[in-house]
Amino acid sequence: MTTGKSRNIAFLGTGLMGAPMARRLLRSGFSVTVWNRNRTKAQDLVPDGAIVADTPAAAVRGVSVVFTMLTDGKAVEDVLFGQGVAEALDAGSIVIDSSSISPDAAREHALKLAERGISHLDAPVSGGVVGATVGTLAIMAGGDAALIDELADLFAPLGRVTHVGPSGCGQLAKLGNQQIVAITIGAVAEAMLLVEAGGGSCEAFRRAIRGGFAESRILEVHGQRMVDRDFGTAGPSKLQLKDLDNIVATAASLALTLPLTEAVRAEFADFVGHGGGDTDHSGLLLHLEEKYGRSSKG
């Protein structure tokens, strides 16, 4: 297998997370060919040294490692097996899927690629755009542990990689991460409702509990967005809902009931259904205020 900076990489999906990840690889000295459905987003990486391909299949020809960072399982399936990527890859190459998809889909992709002599890792990430930009992502990898070790130089510019088990377990870990994120966002938002309804300051409340047992990255980042009323689109709620749908479906397949997850999933579904899909998931506060806040009670 090719090693070190001599590896040629293809990066498929250069959106919010994919672009800074690809840029980190480029600035670490790797040769990277990029493709994105919206070509402009791929073209933005040219000043960093990227080569832009017209199709996913063209991007992966002759490369040894392919990263995918796509919207969902259907998009990954289409790019790998509908748009010719699997056929264009040489035997012995490696696909690292950093998209957030279901564990079952990840295992199915691994099996189909293995039939062609192609290795597969499901390696979703957490840390948001900031983590992708500065290279501090938490990377949860499922698949062959020895292969993950061999790719340490590729993962290093991106963040900290942890092998969490066989194929599909990276996606299981990401689902667990997304459970914690969604439920904690809901908890912080409800706490803001409580404090404000009682006449307190949400900004002062957040400052007061920083460093205590309620401290978290969610309180730090998303809590500040709630205080500032500046939600943006960094983590679209429609993608949070997609992850929650995968969590609930996976739990059902394992005969598990997850009441807190199901409750917050219902609120996100309502928020997205009423036009909040592109709003950052911290914007769940807006939905809770409208539906349950004092102003909604008349």
- In CATH terms, the superfamily for domain 173-297 is N-(1-d-carboxylethyl)-l-norvaline Dehydrogenase; domain 2 (1.10.1040.10)
**pLDDT at position 297, please?**
42
**pLDDT at position 5, please?**
56
174 in active site: yes
| Token code pair at residue 268 | 């996100």
Long-range contacts (CB closer than 8 Å, 24 or more residues apart) made by 294-297: 294/197
- Cβ atoms within 10 Å, residue 227: 17
Whose structure tokens read 């399936």?
77
Domain ranges of the chain: 4-166, 173-297
| Token code pair at residue 136 | 């501090």
The amino acid occupying position 121 is L
**pLDDT at position 139, please?**
98
**pLDDT at position 1, please?**
43
Closest CA to 96 of 120, 127, 72: 120
As beta bridge partners, residue 162 has: 140
**pLDDT at position 7, please?**
81
| Token code pair at residue 270 | 């309502």
pLDDT per residue, tens digit, the chain (298 aa), is 444 556 899 999 999 999 999 999 999 999 999 999 999 999 999 999 999 999 999 999 999 999 999 999 999 999 999 999 999 999 999 999 999 999 999 999 999 999 999 999 999 999 989 999 999 999 999 999 999 999 999 999 999 999 999 999 999 999 999 999 999 999 999 999 999 999 999 999 999 999 999 999 999 999 999 999 999 988 899 999 999 999 999 999 999 999 999 999 999 999 999 999 999 999 999 999 999 986 444 3
**pLDDT at position 293, please?**
81
**pLDDT at position 298, please?**
39
- Identify the active-site residue in 5, 74, 174, 242: 174
Q: Could you tell me the fold of the domain covering 4-166?
A: Rossmann fold (3.40.50)
**pLDDT at position 296, please?**
46
